[in-house]
Every structure is written in structure tokens, then in C-alpha cells.
Structure 1
């Protein structure tokens, strides 16, 4: 019985959220035909940080709803995606964008990880090369004929001893 109640509550919450999003999207239809599901609209709002609310659920976040309404109004006024992003960048600074533009000091921020990776790779290459050149090589001394015979005799003696233990004779 408890499982049934839990399943019903989850189902109802899902339906309420779905209906709420559908109502919000229906209200978002504008005179230019831009809706929340329009690819150009999605591309624009996906680039905005929305004061830290960009990952929140639209149906429960008033800040995100306000941003969406503002972007729809800007599209209604005839502004392009880049003009909208420039507007938010001028009003709120680079922090208004999820990804800072790759220009000026921000270009340094974008390039630093790749430069560090390249420098570390080069350093490791030279360190390993130096270690390899400084490592003494192991030189195997050539066995003389008498050493080989002695070794063979030892092996034969060991085998004979094991056979005696096992009573193979």
C-alpha cells in the first residue's frame, strides 16, 4: 500500500511539473513566434549564467523565468543572439556569460591549460630521456664453456636427487 502511495505521489509531481512547464512555454509564444523550445532561443539562454540559476528547473525558479521573459522580449524587439549576449555582458559584465569570450585576458585563461600541458609534456620527455641515458646498462658476461658444463652437471645432479626421492629407480 505504501508503495502505491509513493508511486502515485511521484506520478502526480511529474505531471504537475510537466503541465507547469507546458503552461510557461505556452505563455512564452510571442508575436515573432519565438518559444522556449526554439533553437535560437535555447542557444542564447544556454550561454547566460542567469546569476547562478542556469542549472535550476524553469518551473520552480523565478530568476530563470525572468531571464527567459527578458530574452523573449529582446527577440520580440528584433535583437539578434549576439546583441542579446552583448547587452547582458555590458550590463552585468563577463560574469553574465557561462563561458567568457576568448579575447583579452580571457584568452590567456583559455590557453593556459593547454600551454601547461605542453610544457609539462616536454619536461617529462627530457627527464625520461636523461634518466634513460644515465642508467647503467646491464652487461651479461659471456659464459665460458666450463661454466656451462658445471651448470649442466648441477642440474643433472638435482634431477637425479629428486628422482631418488620419488623412487623412480
Structure 2
């Protein structure tokens, strides 16, 4: 019985020392999340849709912060190296803003190009409407001189009645 009690005590002592080592290891991995370069790097990551979540309550965001912190602080990787790593692992969808080259460049430029083309079309349509508006009264004012003479004579007769 004494041997079993002794083995249990040794086992408990050993397991508690492992727990202490694990705590010490996790305490070592608390990084400075206020570093501006670190924040700029982390803000560019999409984080599987959790980039707008609260860090204190989102487990996925905490894991991303730990991974990026390990790369940034422990391994000394730069911002571009970290972003390239995630792009290679997860594709261009790993970052919030896709790179501006290739097909992605078309997606960046196309909305502005379409807006510009619509303004040009609207400009020419309005210009045509204005041109047609000024031409219409000119056509309506072309009366025959005979009709003017008839009206003038009618007005003169009515005027003579009252004078």
C-alpha cells in the first residue's frame, strides 16, 4: 500500500511539473499585439471571416494572432513574407485586399471604368436632348405669310369697330 501511495505521489508530482512547463511555455508566447507593424500585418488577413470579431472572444482570431506573432516576433519574418506565406497556404482569399495584378487588377479597375463610361453616355444623351429641344421651337415658328396676313386683317377689322 505504501508503494502504491508513493507511486501516486510521484505521478502527481510529475504531472504537476508538466503542467507548470506548459504554463510557462504559453506565458512565453504572449506577444506584443500593440506593435504597429504587427497590427498592420494582422489587419490585412481575412482570418476565415473572423477578422472583424473581438479578439477576446473569438478562438479563430486568437489562433491567427498566435501564428502571426510566432512568425513575426520569434522567426523575424516581415509583413510581406507573412502575407506571402498565407497566400501560398490558403490562396489569395487569405488576405482582405487581393493583390493588384492579373485578373484581380481587372476587378479593381472595372467598377471605376464602368462609372466613367456611364458618365460619358449620360453626357451625350443630355447633350442630344438639349440640341433637339432648341431645334423644335424653330420649326414651330415657321408660319406662312398668308396666315399672318389673314390674322392681321381680322384684327384690323375688329379694331375699326371700336374706334
Q: Given that residues 29 and 70 in structure 2 are in contact (C-alpha distance below 8 angstroms), is that contact kept between their aligned partners in structure 1?
A: no
Given the alignment of the two structures, is residue 57 of structure 1 paired with residue 75 of structure 2, yes or no? no
Larger Rg, first or second structure (1 or 2): 2
Q: Which residue of 2 aligns with 1:28?
A: 30
Q: In the comparison of the two structures, how many residue pairs are matched?
A: 113
Q: Which residue of 2 aligns with 1:163?
A: none
Q: Which residue of 2 aligns with 1:124?
A: 122
Specify which of 62, 65, 80 is matched with residue 68 of structure 1: 65
For structure 2, the 5+ residue unaligned runs are 1-25, 142-154, 156-163
Task: Provide, for residues 17-66 of structure 1, a one-character-per-residue CA deviation record: whole Å limited to 9, x for no partner.
Answer: xxxxxxx9x9623xxxxx11100000000000000000010001010000
> What is the TM-score with the length of structure 1 in the denominator?
0.62
Q: Which residue of 1 aligns with 2:96?
A: 98
Alpha-carbon separation, structure 2, partners of 1:64 and 1:137: 69
> What is the TM-score with the length of structure 2 in the denominator?
0.64
Q: Equivalent residue of 1:28, what SS?
A: coil
Alpha-carbon separation, structure 1, partners of 2:128 and 2:119: 14
Q: Which residue of 2 aligns with 1:78?
A: 76
Q: Please report how far the alpha carbon of residue 73 of structure 1 lies from its aligned counterpart in structure 2 after TM superposition.
A: 0.5
Q: Which has the higher helix share?
A: 2
Q: Which residue of 2 aligns with 1:112?
A: 110
Alpha-carbon separation, structure 2, partners of 1:137 and 1:87: 70
Q: Which residue of 2 aligns with 1:43?
A: 40
Q: Equivalent residue of 2:33, what SS?
A: coil
Q: Given that residues 41 and 79 in structure 2 are in contact (C-alpha distance below 8 angstroms), is that contact kept between their aligned partners in structure 1?
A: yes
For structure 1, the 5+ residue unaligned runs are 1-23, 30-34, 141-146, 148-169
Task: Provide, for residues 116-141 of structure 1, a one-character-per-residue CA deviation record: whole Å limited to 9, x for no partner.
Answer: 0110000000000000001124899x
Alpha-carbon distance change, 27 to 137 in structure 1, aligned in 2, over 3 angstroms: farther
